[in-house]
Structure 1
Amino acid sequence: MDNDITLGIIGGSGLYDIPSLTNKTEFSIETPFGSPSSKILTGTINNQKVA
């Protein structure tokens, strides 16, 4: 994961498409508790890297 990401957005159902999100990348992770229910989505909003 990119260490320059300084903002995290926690979403639920309905937060599948953010129109201003560019440079989208999705990836899967594994935690000690298992896999999350969704992939991690990173990108850029107004020149701010977000996940």
Structure 2
Amino acid sequence: MVRRLHRLGIRSGSRLTVVRQYPFHGPIIIQVDQQRIALRYAVFQVLIGGR
């Protein structure tokens, strides 16, 4: 998972902006450096330190 996120441009200290959050633990759309990426809810929780 870490390698995939690095390839997408998400690194430690990257500024993430939540663009859209779907209900019922659906996907989260984030924006990083002018690109939008959809993440599973569980992956997003790990990124923000929720788990």
TM-score, L = length of structure 2:
0.35
User: Which has a greater percent of helix?
Assistant: 2
